[in-house]
Every structure is written in structure tokens, then in C-alpha cells.
Amino acid sequence: MYLLELVGEDDAFARAEAASACSDVRSLAPALATARGCADRVASLAYTRRVCDLVGTTDASVESARALLDAAGIDREGTVAVRASALRGCEVDTRRAERELGSVLVARGFAVDLDAPDHELRAYFAGDTCALGWLAVETPRDFSARRPTDRPFFQPGSMDPMFARALVNLAGARPGTRLLDPMCGTGGVLVEAGLVGADVLGLDAQAKMTRGARENLAHYLGADRARTLQGDATHLPLRDDSVDAVVFDAPYGRQSKVVGGLDELVGEALAEARRVAPRCVLVADRSWCEAAETAGWAVEARFSRRVHRSLDRHVLVLSRDAP
């Protein structure tokens, strides 16, 4: 069994992303989840900070945490360190927890190395739960290195790379898959999909965007993987079932000036996405559930995420088959 430390304010969204790389993901406590299995690609998750081999759970007190560790079997050798975290405002003395748990390990014959331990015990206190686990994977937190403003080509409104990574994971991006963004803008979604190993293709109605996205893709993925075309999302120049997933950020109603209307554009783009792929993740400033179902999609999951006071981002995870 594995223990997942989640980040962000929406645990349901984080668990859904985690399920792209883990099996049987379940809520444990605020900012914590469990999983029965994890694939190697768990390291690519955006909203999972750490994955641990679960030792066990108890109530959120230092005394109970110590009793849990004292009773647990430990099949490890080498040096250890203990790191305790109080999540979402849980009031626990984490320094005391580290001392108490560390003393249990020392009594078992382990040497403590706080700088470069062979094994790191994580103690999480959240809500009324304490969970202990041995750190197995710490996901890279390098998203700030790809901030939209630092890319070779930038336009206002570009998507945050951490959020974009979660979207491509929800879509099933991984080595060997083909992912299309038919409204690619500056290419942020494609960059994240490419970094997890997917083969990517971007379209945009504006030549300026396709050129800029190609520049960004070349910068992060290499020129040989920078594939963009000027094109219409409602008439894709692709064969049926030619990609594995589609991800796109639909135009926002208050900003877009779409000939024929936004409803027609999004509806036809959804229909085309279903023609070329069995899976789609749509982001917009409102829910397009009705349009998605009209286009033949089954809504697998839906999320609403606050960006700021005047903007919520709605995320639909769509599949051809009913969940």
C-alpha cells in the first residue's frame, strides 16, 4: 500500500490525476490519499508531491504515532531521518514528533543522518489522522522553470505548467501515446505532454500562435518534436482515431470573438475531438457538459477550480464509453 501527499486545494482533482499513475486511489485525510499500486510514471504527477510505502495510520497525536512505529516491522538497513508535517492547519508539534519517532528508530539500532539518509520516514498529521510512510518517490517540483513569462514565446493568459501537466496526465499522456491540442495557443499543454514522453501535435487558427508554440516546443523538447500546424479545430486534418487523446483550453466567453458563435465552435470542436480520439480533457470558463454529451462524449469526471474572483476554470474529463 502507498501513501500519497497531495498538493493544491482540490484533493478530488489531485486524486483524479494520481489515478492516471496509481491504482485504487482513495482519500485518507485532507491532503492525503492511499493507493494499492503505483507505476513508474508516478514521478510525472503534478499534484502529488511525495509517494511513500505506507507503514500505517493512527490518530493525530505524537503518542499514537510513536506507538504505531514502535509496533511496526522495519525491513530496512542503513541510516534514517524523520520528517514530520502538519497539513491543512493540523496543530501538532512536528519537532517533537520527529524527536519521538527518531528515538524509536535509534532504539532499533538505526543511525540518524539528517543530510543524506538512506531512508526517510515521513510522518503526516492531517485532520484527525496520522500516517507514517517510508519515502519512495519525491516528484520533481520544477514547474517554475517553465513559467509562461520565461518561455521564448509568451502571450497573456498562458496556462500554468503545473495545471497543464495535470491535464495531460488526466488525458493519459505517457511514452508511446499521441496527444493533440487543437487550440494550442503558446503550446504549454504540449510542452508538458512532451515532457512525460507523449508524441505531441498542436493546431491553432492563428499562424502567430503556431509559430510561437513551435518555438516553445523546440526549446523544451527539441526541434524534432516541435510539430504544429495552422488549422481549424472544427475541421481537423486528421484521420479517424489517429491520436490517443485531445486536450484543449476553449476560448473564454467574455474574451472571444468567434465567427458563428462560441457554442458552435466548442460543440463542433468536441465532435471532431471524438472523431480522432477516444479521450478528451476540456478546460473552459464554464461547464460544457451538455455540449460534450451532445457530441457523443460520456462525462467521466468534472471539476471546478477557482483562478481568481472573476474566473473559475471548469475541467471535463471525457471518454467515448460511459464510466
CA distance 173 to 170: 8
Tally of CB atoms within 10 A around 85: 17
For cell 476554470, name the residue.
313
Domain at 2-138: CATH architecture: 2-Layer Sandwich (3.30)
Domain 143-319 falls in which CATH fold? Rossmann fold (3.40.50)
Q: Is there a contact between 197 and 174 (Cβ–Cβ < 8 Å)?
A: yes
- What does the pLDDT read at residue 321? 77
What is the chain's Cα-based Rg? 22
* Spatial separation of the C-alpha atoms in residues 166 and 159, rounded to whole Å: 11
φ, ψ of residue 67 to 5 degrees: the values are -65, -40
Instruction: Give 218-253 pLDDT, tens digit per residue.
Output: 999 999 999 999 999 999 999 999 999 999 999 986
Domain boundaries, the chain: 2-138, 143-319
Q: Encode pLDDT of 15-71 as tens digits.
A: 999 999 999 999 999 999 999 999 999 999 999 999 999 999 999 999 999 999 999
Nearest one of 292, 282, 276 to 231, comparing CA atoms: 276
pLDDT truncated to tens, each residue of the chain (323 aa)? 999 999 999 999 999 999 999 999 999 999 999 999 999 999 999 999 999 999 999 999 999 999 999 999 999 999 999 999 999 989 999 999 999 999 999 999 999 999 999 999 999 999 999 999 999 999 999 999 999 999 999 999 889 999 999 999 999 999 999 999 999 999 999 999 999 999 999 999 999 999 999 999 999 999 999 999 999 999 999 999 999 999 999 998 655 455 558 999 999 999 999 999 999 999 999 999 999 999 999 999 999 988 777 678 999 999 997 54
For residues 304 and 250, give the distance between their C-alpha atoms in angstroms, rounded to a whole number. 15
pLDDT at 260: 58
